[in-house]
Amino acid sequence: MPRITLIGAGSMVFARKIVGDILSFDALADSEVVLMDIDEGRLDRTHRVAEAMVDNEGLPATVEATTDRRAALDGAEYVFNMINVGGTEPFENEIRIPEAYGVEQAIGDTTGPGGIFRGLRTIPTMLDIAADMEELCPDALLLNYTNPMAILCKAMFDATDVETVGLCHSVPHTATAIADYVDVPADELDYWVAGINHMAWFLEATHEGESVYPALREAAEDPDTYQRDTVRFEMLKHFGYFPTESSHHMSEYVPYVRTDPETIDEMTGTDYAERMGTATYLEGWTARSTQRDDPELDVDLDEVGVERSEEYAARLVHSLETDTERRFNLNVSNETGAIENLPGDACVEVPVLADGSGLHPCSVGELPTQVAALDRQHSAVYELAVEGALEHDREKVHQAVKLDPLTGAKLTLAEAHEMTEALLEANAEYLPRLE
């Protein structure tokens, strides 16, 4: 009967999916599920849905809800982190201020100035959670879903004793996309992927033992297919491997695409056109945040059931609890040397075997030089951002932004410095103390 705690459970749609995944396994159906959020209204709604799932399915699980984080963590064996620190105001600043300086981010939550500052405002809360865990559930595994993934996981690796692993959708979603482009069943595609979060690389992708890369390159020559994933097909063409985030995300990881409106328009593919532009994405995010408070979104509790989603966090827990071996792509510390030509203290996304004895990162060896170079640059940015937060070092925050490829493609060093100061001033109340 594992005790599984969800921090940030007020996000009802996602929390409902996670709870349903947990309860869908017979071996986890008697779990003690604890929901925690600081928003009582959202928490209550998630709690009612989760209890209805248990009651309607006649399961032995128990569900409790609390706004007390320490109570939620006491005795936990697994802690799911899905928090959002600060809400809409700082996120809008992280988009609009760089935009005013000419830095056009696509999403701004994992890399670029937006990702760096989102990390800075989230790290203090993550450290508070870690301190509680070290006291109340020191052997628990923290499963992090919150972005910026690499920055937050690295902060946990560097500053805490909490066993932390990061989970992201990008690898399985990319596998599905590749299978579609080469016209093979998604569940028959085998792959070996490694790198950093949102910039890992399909080092191998095979179907029935044969590489699908020739077919993928051929697919990219078709104009209609190319327009579905322009930036990633360009990365494949020029660097030889297909990356793991959608084109709108990938466009802000490299200095080649978001340079001027004409280039952005040219690279806007039909599958993500509505998210290639910052303003559109920000408006959609704000609307979704507002809708979370809408009582009309309440579901019919009599109809709520348990369904297993594509999320793999519950599968990971099931593997650990039942000694069922599975392989996942997870975000872990590179301290084991999983990727030999990335820093040993970087957060890397690599294949990891999970079984009853724990999590075992696989050895990847060296990444191809060209893609390792792209990953190393971002790893350096993340390292400086984390050091800036942990050491209260304002200058390292500046250096992180100045090393960001997207920022460097648009701004002089003086302009980048001025933009960073504007962000520090605008979001001062959300940030750690910086000197």
* Catalytically annotated residues: 169
Task: Let me know: does 128 contact 155? Beta carbons within 8 Å.
Answer: no
Which residues have a Cβ under 8 Å from the Cβ of 133 and sit 6 or more positions away? 73, 76, 79, 140, 142, 160, 162
Q: Give the distance from CA 380 to its chain's centroid.
A: 18
Task: Let me know: does 85 contact 121? Beta carbons within 8 Å.
Answer: yes
Which residues have a Cβ under 8 Å from the Cβ of 201 and sit 6 or more positions away? 193, 194, 195, 241, 242, 243, 244, 367, 368, 371
